[in-house]
Structure 1
């Protein structure tokens, strides 16, 4: 099965089957039937792509209900540390995070359900990410947590003097102060 559970309920790593030969490789980055067999019945409605340089940290971002989004993240160039933080109140892993290296080389993808904050740091000279969302972007529903919150203690893999963060992300609240209405459903 191409899905691997993590220590955080609902957060899955997707490892597609990659077919390699002397010409290169082929793989299905997304197949609705494969996801449905795993019990994942979602309809992706928006695809996003980002390009960033070494040291960039984007996040931690989420959208609040009713515009929350499930995201399927993959790297098409370079390598990143991808981070998902459980912000579902009542969850046994509330406030815990998963940090995983995903890259164009390893082809891993992270399926981040609603109720998680997401961010990434760029470890390579440049990186391009593509991600599918099951909800459309809604500016009024934006939420976020400051990337360097000491309570979360996330290792982004970037030396402090090399970190590049947007002014908007530097203004995000701490984990303790973030606003959201996500509840753990079990």
Structure 2
């Protein structure tokens, strides 16, 4: 299974995550020894960012599962748009929210689409994604699903059996909310 071998992430990147966390890895992982109360995954809000986030979630699930079980793993939700005029600017986290802001803000309105975190200046990144007072975080959890079910989903999506992955995707294609092609 890919998740247990090469994740497509550099070894140095994974070693840096392990060292920074301080709790070890794999069977040696100890959630009581981690240096931080929250581990936040922050990736671009595009397909590439989603792929990286999936790889990191797989790594954390396989190698540091107690982070998830104890509620310490989060996903940052950067905005997709900045909508504003000369007097007011707000951030939108979806196209619907952008459209609502366009109706609310009067005058000459500009819309900036963020294709990645690198398009924000330091102040914007702080305001939207890093400031603990205003950031949007999703807590990673397993929603009461047993380990066997979660293991099965990870194996289907991250494993080497292409047919199994294809069937999984086809069976759920009608319920997709976000698709970027």
TM-score (norm 1): 0.24
Question: Relative to total residues, which structure has the larger helix share, 1 or 2?
Answer: 2
Question: Relative to total residues, which structure has the larger strand share, 1 or 2?
Answer: 1
Q: Is the radius of gyration larger for structure 1 or structure 2?
A: 2
Higher relative contact order (CA 8 A, sep 6+): 1
TM-score (norm 2): 0.24
